[in-house]
């Protein structure tokens, strides 16, 4: 159980997201999770061992380290990545719930149910409209909130995004104001700035995706309002594209659920 | 043999769970198991090496560490994850038993071997009670062993062979406390989910039973 498991769960979403969603997922996997695992973890690997204070007083180093690093950068990033990835599961759960309802209708022998068998229900693509549209939009909204909260927490806890070389510590039991030296401050600053930059890109992608969904939604509504005689079976090119997009998005939910349960 | 085994086990049980049960599995996977493996384990990795006492007396650090951490918090966390996940095996075994029975008698004995009714309902309820029980027991153990969920920066130790009351410093106490709070919060959420699922199943099947009895009386 590690980042690979999260990748498997989210992989199903990737196949059927919007284009912006696919870009977001790629950025998340390659520029955040992979960088964290193959590079950043090594840089912070020896952080407490190589945190040196100019004192022989036992306990002073521990206390100063705890004072300046209440939670390590690397753990904060790991939590950020987990929280930012999970809203996609909301959509998967909603689709699974809809599918469950259809199966129940089918089993009851409801005449309204147009499916021939359970397999057809499993293969069914749900349109993203009504409550499912709200779930999808909420998941993007939550992603944005989590990104912003973690970026703020970072900025607040570490007084900016720079890692200083030297910190002055006078917490007890240090006998006086003691100089403490952080290991690899420049490398850590570089990685911190990189991770913050990629978080900002992800925030912009999420905002773009949200705007795109909202614009499409309002356009569709205004078209429906402006065209009341519109025949339900006659679709314009744009609506066909929208429907395909919606079907693709709902397929992603199906695959997420399948991937998650396998 | 590693956490992947537990993940596979829970994925298998996912099929036979209710909606709330699936939410519970998702929370255990992502907010407990994944957080444990990618973040929490590393926080406690060098806890003994970084535990420092203000003395040069050999053996004092060892003895004090053992006194304040009889079982490491991270090990308790791992045990909790394992014990909380295993009652789901009862349900998987019962379904396998039903399927075997159908094969042996070569006829359809149940509407669906995985459907929660009859004996499987009892097994499912028992597994929920056990899960909740284990969660509460571990939270209580954490509370009792460590005097709450706080991790102090400094502990005073006067056990032999320490010459007097010696100051001992725990490494990364704030980070450990943050993760312990996270553990308690997720355990709490899981307890609430288990209790809701229990109530939901009891209500649903009581109503079903009552309606059956009522329709029989009418006939």
CATH of the domain at A157: 1.20.1440.80
Task: Give pLDDT tens digits for B169-210.
Answer: 999 999 999 999 999 999 999 999 999 999 999 999 899 889
The per-residue pLDDT for A254 is: 45
ipTM value of the model?
Answer: 0.75
The DSSP output letter for B105 is: H
The per-residue pLDDT for A241 is: 54
**How far is A98 from A254, CA to CA, in rounded Å?**
11
The number of domains in chain B is: 1
User: Closest Cα partner for A57 from B56, B160, B152, B153?
Assistant: B56
A140 within a domain of the structure (yes/no): yes
Query: Other C-beta atoms within 10 Å of A24: how many?
Result: 25
Residue of A nearest to B179 (CA): A71
- A93/B22 touch (CB, cutoff 8 Å), yes or no: yes
Residues of chain A under the 50 pLDDT cut: 230-231, 233-235, 250-262
**A50 or B140: which leads in pLDDT:** B140
Residues 202-241 of A with CB under 8 A from B: none
**How far is A248 from A49, CA to CA, in rounded Å?**
50
A245 within a domain of the structure (yes/no): no
Which residues in chain A are closer than 8 Å to B21, comparing Cβ atoms?
A: none
The per-residue pLDDT for B105 is: 82
The number of domains in chain A is: 1
- A48/B172 touch (CB, cutoff 8 Å), yes or no: yes
Task: Give pLDDT tens digits for A204-260.
Answer: 999 999 998 899 888 888 888 776 654 454 445 555 555 555 555 544 444 444 443
Dihedral sign, CA of A15, A17, A23, A27?
A: negative
Over residues B102-126, the mean pLDDT reads 81
User: What is the total residue count of chain B?
Assistant: 219
CATH of the domain at B178: 1.20.1440.80
3-state secondary structure of A58: coil
pLDDT score of B17 more than 60: yes
Strand order in the sheet with A52-53: A52-53, A178-181, A166-169
Dmax of chain B from CA atoms?
87
Domain that holds residue B46: 3-214
Tokens 């006998």, residue located: A175
Over residues B127-147, the mean pLDDT reads 93
HSE (CB half, 13 Å, CA atoms) of B177? 15
A248 within a domain of the structure (yes/no): no
The per-residue pLDDT for B35 is: 93
Task: Give pLDDT tens digits for B21-78.
Answer: 988 998 998 899 999 999 998 999 888 888 999 999 888 999 999 889 988 899 899 9
- A62/B14 touch (CB, cutoff 8 Å), yes or no: no
B219 within a domain of the structure (yes/no): no
Residue of A nearest to B21 (CA): A93
**How far is A251 from A15, CA to CA, in rounded Å?**
8
Residue of A nearest to B49 (CA): A49
Query: What's the angle, vertex CA B103, arms to CA B100 and CA B109, rounded to 5?
Result: 90
- Mean pLDDT taken over chain B: 88
Query: Could you say which of B19, B30, B175 has the minimum Cβ distance to residue A86?
Result: B30
Residues forming beta bridges with residue B168, ordered by sequence position: B53, B155
The per-residue pLDDT for A20 is: 85
A118 in contact with B, Cβ within 8 Å: no
Residue of B nearest to A1 (CA): B4
A108 within a domain of the structure (yes/no): yes
HSE (CB half, 13 Å, CA atoms) of B16? 26
Query: Could you say which of B14, B33, B179 has the minimum Cβ distance to residue A261?
Result: B14
B182 within a domain of the structure (yes/no): yes
Domain that holds residue A159: 19-47+72-164+181-222
Predicted TM-score (pTM) above 0.90: no
**How far is B191 from B203, CA to CA, in rounded Å?**
18
A69 in contact with B, Cβ within 8 Å: yes
């Amino acid at each position: 159980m590690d980042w690979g498991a999260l990748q498997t769960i989210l992989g199903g979403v990737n196949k059927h997201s919007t284009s912006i969603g696919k870009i977001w997922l790629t950025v998340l996997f390659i520029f955040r999770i992979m960088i964290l695992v193959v590079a950043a973890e090594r840089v912070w690997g020896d952080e407490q061992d190589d945190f040196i204070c100019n004192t022989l007083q036992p306990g002073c180093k521990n206390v100063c380290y705890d004072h300046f690093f209440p939670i390590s950068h690397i753990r904060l990033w790991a939590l950020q990545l987990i929280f930012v990835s999970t809203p996609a599961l909301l959509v998967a759960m909603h689709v699974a719930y809809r599918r469950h309802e259809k199966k129940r209708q089918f089993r009851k022998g409801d005449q309204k149910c147009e499916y021939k068998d359970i397999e057809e229900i499993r293969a069914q693509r749900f349109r993203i409209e009504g409550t499912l549209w709200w779930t999808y939009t909420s998941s993007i909204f939550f992603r944005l909130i989590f990104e912003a909260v973690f970026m703020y927490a970072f900025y607040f806890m570490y007084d900016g995004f720079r890692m200083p070389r030297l910190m002055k510590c006078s917490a007890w039991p240090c006998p006086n104001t003691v100089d403490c030296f952080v290991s690899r401050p420049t490398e850590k600053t570089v990685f911190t700035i990189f991770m913050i930059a990629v978080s900002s890109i992800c925030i912009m992608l999420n905002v773009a995706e949200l705007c795109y969904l909202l614009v499409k939604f309002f356009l569709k509504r205004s078209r429906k309002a402006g065209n009341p005689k519109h025949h339900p079976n006659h679709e314009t090119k744009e609506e066909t594209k929208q429907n395909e997009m919606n079907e693709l998005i709902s397929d992603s939910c199906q695959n997420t659920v399948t991937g998650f349960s396998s | 043999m590693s956490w992947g085994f537990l993940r596979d086990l829970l994925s298998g049980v996912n099929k036979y769970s209710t909606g709330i049960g699936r939410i519970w599995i998702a929370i255990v996977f992502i907010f407990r198991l994944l957080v444990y493996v990618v973040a929490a384990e590393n926080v406690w990795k060098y806890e003994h090496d970084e535990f420092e006492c203000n003395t040069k007396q050999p053996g004092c650090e060892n003895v004090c560490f053992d006194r304040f951490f009889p079982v490491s918090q991270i090990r308790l966390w791992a045990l909790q994850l394992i014990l909380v996940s295993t009652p789901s095996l009862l349900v998987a075994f019962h379904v396998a038993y039903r399927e075997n029975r159908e094969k042996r008698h070569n006829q359809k004995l149940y509407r669906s071997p995985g459907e929660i009714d009859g004996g499987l309902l009892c097994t499912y309820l028992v597994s929920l009670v056990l899960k909740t029980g284990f969660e509460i027991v571990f939270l209580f153990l954490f509370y009792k062993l460590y005097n709450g969920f706080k991790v102090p920066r400094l502990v005073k130790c006067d056990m032999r062979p320490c010459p007097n009351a010696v100051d001992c410093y725990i490494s990364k106490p704030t980070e450990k406390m943050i993760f312990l709070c996270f553990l308690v919060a997720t355990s709490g959420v899981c307890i609430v989910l288990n209790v809701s699922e229990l109530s939901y199943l009891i209500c649903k099947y009581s109503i079903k039973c009552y309606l059956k009895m009522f329709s029989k009386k009418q006939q």
